[in-house]
């Protein structure tokens, strides 16, 4: 269990430890985020700042889903005009460092891997529901805290956006010199300064946010595929107008994923330009379980070049 808050903890270089525990259960519509270690830091180099802050620290009512938020920035490279990357894990996943975070920090970005309820995947609770807008209403409740549907019981303060607002305000109070308020707009988020990203269920959340708000960039790994029926009919929300222009959408999946054909249809429905979609085929499986290729996009099996493409980084060698 993480402590309630760890301030100014540098990410320490250390050898790659053997990983023997992956979450093997990959449910339809989601998967566990892969555990990763911080990269080694060159001798004498100033390490990025990593903070772990429990949701209950920012809002006392957050006693459930209280795994610590993961926050990182590199003071030596931090830029006032650089975006905040909001990353949302897949079903069963927890906030932790992803393999592409160091490159983002090197580019001057800040990163928040948000803690939220990842228990139920959309494709667990909605395909058989009589309301054709079940997927949209479930995502609205999990994102904004609106009481749109009762297939999940997330409270308003447990939703992703309220938690992000509370966290940014907490960071701004605790570290005023870092100006975390640049990502706030009153009591809301300055979405034009935020890259929304996620894997599996989290990618669906990122896509829904990019539909609602003009974000700096949307980066989707292996999702969404909200659908119902046989043959599958995509959820109506995917085809509605997007506040984020198509050129800012980037997405990818592995060609051997169980739902690869449905993900391809979903990306087309979201109107993501073909040039902004990558289909990986050579990368080996990254998970055990019934959908072993589903986690490749966010794993070390992927390449720096692919991550640079997805996030628009100037150089994959960073």
Query: Two tokens at 64?
Result: 């459930």
The Cα–Cα gap between 113 and 211 comes to 20
Q: Is 252 inside a domain boundary?
A: yes
- pTM score, two decimals? 0.86
Q: Is 139 inside a domain boundary?
A: yes
Q: Is 18 inside a domain boundary?
A: no
Tens of pLDDT, residue by residue over 37-59, are: 344 444 445 689 999 999 999 99
Query: Two tokens at 269?
Result: 């429905």
Percentage, residues of the chain above pLDDT 70: 84
- What pLDDT is recorded for position 317? 44
Q: Is 274 inside a domain boundary?
A: yes
Tens of pLDDT, residue by residue over 113-165, are: 999 999 999 999 999 999 999 999 999 999 999 999 999 999 999 999 999 99
Q: How many domains does the chain have?
A: 1
The Cα–Cα gap between 111 and 38 comes to 14
**Three-state SS string across the chain, please?**
CCCCEEEEEECCCCCCCCCCCCCCCCCCCCCCCCCCCCCCCCCCCCCCEEEEECHHHHCCCCCCCCCCEEEEECCCCCCCCCCEEEEECCCCCCCCCCCCHHHHHHCCCEEEECCCCCCCCHHHHCCCCCCCCHHHHHHHHHHHCCCCCCCCCCCHHHCHHHHHHHHHHHHHHHCHHHCHHHHEECCEECHHHEEEEEECHHHHHHHHHHHHCCCCEEEEECCCCCEECCCCEECHHHHCCCCCCHHHEEEEEECCCCCHHHHHHHHHHCCCCHHHEEEECCCCCCCCCCCCCCCHHHCCCCCHHHHHHHHCCCCCCC
Q: Is 108 inside a domain boundary?
A: yes
∠ CA 146-152-157, rounded to 5°: 45
Q: Is 37 inside a domain boundary?
A: no
At which residue do the structure tokens 């990025």 appear? 48
- Contact call for residues 115 and 195 (beta carbons, < 8 A): no
- Contact call for residues 233 and 265 (beta carbons, < 8 A): no
Cβ neighbours, 10 Å, residue 224: 33
Tens of pLDDT, residue by residue over 53-94, are: 999 999 999 999 999 999 999 999 999 998 999 999 999 999
Residue 173 belongs to what domain range?
5-11+48-311
CATH of residue 211: 3.40.50
Cβ neighbours, 10 Å, residue 229: 10
- Work out whether the CA dihedral 257, 263, 267, 268 comes out positive or negative: positive
Tens of pLDDT, residue by residue over 219-276, are: 999 999 999 998 999 999 999 999 999 999 999 999 999 999 999 999 999 999 999 9
- Mean pLDDT computed over every residue of the chain: 87
Tens of pLDDT, residue by residue over 263-278, are: 999 999 999 999 999 9
Q: Is 276 inside a domain boundary?
A: yes
Cβ neighbours, 10 Å, residue 64: 14
Q: Is 271 inside a domain boundary?
A: yes
Phi, psi angles (nearest 5°) of residue 210: -70, -30
Cα separation values, 191 from 23, 86, 101, Å:
32, 10, 20
């Amino acid at each position: 269990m993480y402590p309630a808050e760890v301030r100014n903890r540098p990410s320490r270089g250390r050898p790659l430890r053997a990983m023997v525990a992956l979450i093997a259960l990959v449910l339809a519509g989601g998967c566990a985020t892969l555990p990763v270690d911080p990269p080694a830091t060159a001798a004498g180099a100033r390490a990025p700042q990593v903070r772990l802050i429990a949701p209950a620290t920012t809002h006392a009512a957050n006693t459930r889903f209280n795994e610590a938020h993961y926050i990182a920035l590199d003071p030596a490279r931090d830029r006032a005009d650089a975006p905040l990357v909001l990353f949302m894990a897949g079903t069963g996943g927890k906030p932790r460092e992803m393999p592409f975070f160091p490159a983002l920090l090197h580019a001057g970005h800040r990163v928040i891997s948000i803690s939220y309820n990842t228990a139920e995947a959309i494709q667990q609770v909605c395909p058989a529901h009589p309301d054709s807008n079940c997927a949209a209403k479930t995502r609205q409740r999990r994102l904004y805290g609106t009481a749109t549907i009762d297939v999940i019981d997330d409270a308003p303060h447990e939703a992703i956006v309220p938690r992000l607002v509370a966290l940014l305000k907490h960071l701004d109070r605790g570290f005023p010199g870092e100006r975390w308020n640049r990502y706030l707009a009153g009591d809301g988020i300055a979405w034009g300064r935020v890259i929304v990203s996620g894997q599996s269920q989290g990618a669906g959340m990122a896509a829904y946010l990019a539909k609602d708000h003009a974000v700096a960039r949307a980066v989707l790994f292996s999702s969404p595929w909200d659908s119902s029926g046989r043959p599958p009919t995509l959820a109506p929300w995917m085809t509605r107008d997007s506040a984020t222009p198509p050129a800012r959408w980037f997405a990818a999946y592995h060609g051997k994923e169980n739902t690869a054909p449905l993900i391809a249809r979903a990306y087309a429905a979201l109107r993501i330009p073909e040039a902004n979609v990558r289909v990986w085929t050579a990368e080996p499986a990254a998970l055990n379980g019934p959908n072993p290729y589903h986690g490749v996009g966010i794993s070390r099996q992927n390449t720096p070049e692919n991550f640079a493409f997805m996030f628009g980084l100037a150089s994959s060698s960073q």
